[in-house]
Structure formats: C-alpha cells, structure tokens
Amino acid sequence: MIISGLDIVSRQLVRNLRNATHQQQPCGVDLTLRQISQWTSPAIIDFDNTFRRSAKTSILTFHPTNNTITLQPGAYLVDFNETVKIPRNCMGSVFPRSSLWRSGVSVQAGVVDAGYEGAMGALLEVKNPFGVVLHKDAKLAQIIFEQMEKEVEGYSGVYQASTSSVGVDGAKKA
C-alpha cells in the first residue's frame, strides 16, 4: 500500500520541508535541492565493508546573486534539504520529477530501508548536451512510502542518522 503525501506530511516521515503545501503530492512528497557535489576520488566497495571507502567529494557553489548552479553533462551527487524517518513497517523509493527527465536530467537513488533515519541524497545525471541550470531549493525528486506486511528489525548501517548523503568519510568542502 502506498502512503499518501498527506499522511507522510502529517506523520512527519519527511522532515525539514521548505513548504509542505507545495511539496505534498498525492502519492508522495517532493525533495528539494540543498547542495550539489562532484566526486574527486574513487570509491572502494566490497562484500562486507572490510575495505569499504566512500569516494571523496567536493561541494559545488551556487552563484552568489541568483542562487543558481549550471551543470554540464556528467554525474553529480545531490543532497536534499529534507531528512526522513522511515517507520519499521515501510520502505521508501525516490523518483525523478517529470520536469527533470523532460529536460534531459535523471535522478537515481537506492531503496530507503525500513528504520532509516537521516539525510537523503541521490545521483543526478545531466544527459542534456547543453547542461542544466538549477536553482537552490528546486524540486528535483519525489519520495514515496510503501507499507510492508509487518514491522522488521530496521536499518542499522553506517549511514544511520547521517547529515549528508556521502556519509562520514566522503565529505569535503569546496
């Protein structure tokens, strides 16, 4: 069962909303742009996190007078303004807003596990050969919540209670 946007907002499953009225949708809640980063090193991914190392990132800056950022074709890391608190009987999925893919831009994110609480981020890919201009706080994606049959133990990984989508070892200010 999909939880309505109204219920998501009233249950405060998504927090730090810029404007609940504008972000609440019939099937979910819009996520807005807080910052954009680019990768500056490789990552290491293994089976049991013995050798795991997040890729380093560098935060890109918005234009100081109009709060925009121009992105050329490529892959970027997006941090959203909003944070989530996923109940242990739900999971979240993030989808791009249609205005993005109509402009040659995509957003991808993994499953947001039951029990996860913290920052939200995604991969943003600019495929438009002319790039894209994004305003700070632009609505980029929508999160939906699906209720599961029963409550589960819940997420307890390294990103729990994180304040950034890169985790503890990938962040670096520009």
Phi-psi region of 84 (alpha: psi -120 to 50; beta: other; left: phi over 0): beta
Distance CA(122)–CA(114), nearest Å, equals 18
pLDDT digits (tens, 9 = 90+) for 82-117: 999 999 999 999 999 999 999 999 999 989 999 999
- What is residue 173's predicted lDDT score, i.e. its pLDDT? 39
Q: What is the CATH number of the domain that holds 6?
A: 2.70.40.10
Per the structure, the complete domain to which residue 90 belongs is given by 2-41+50-147
What percentage of the chain's residues is helix, strand, coil (to nearest 5)? 10, 40, 50
pTM, two decimals, is 0.90
Whether residue 170 lies inside any domain: the answer is: no
Domain tally, the chain: 1
- What is residue 167's predicted lDDT score, i.e. its pLDDT? 61
Whether residue 75 lies inside any domain: the answer is: yes
Whether residue 171 lies inside any domain: the answer is: no
Whether residue 174 lies inside any domain: the answer is: no
Whether residue 154 lies inside any domain: the answer is: no
Report residue 163's pLDDT band, with 50, 70 and 90 as the boundaries.
confident
Distance CA(45)–CA(89), nearest Å, equals 28
Task: Quote the mean pLDDT of the chain.
Answer: 92
Whether residue 164 lies inside any domain: the answer is: no
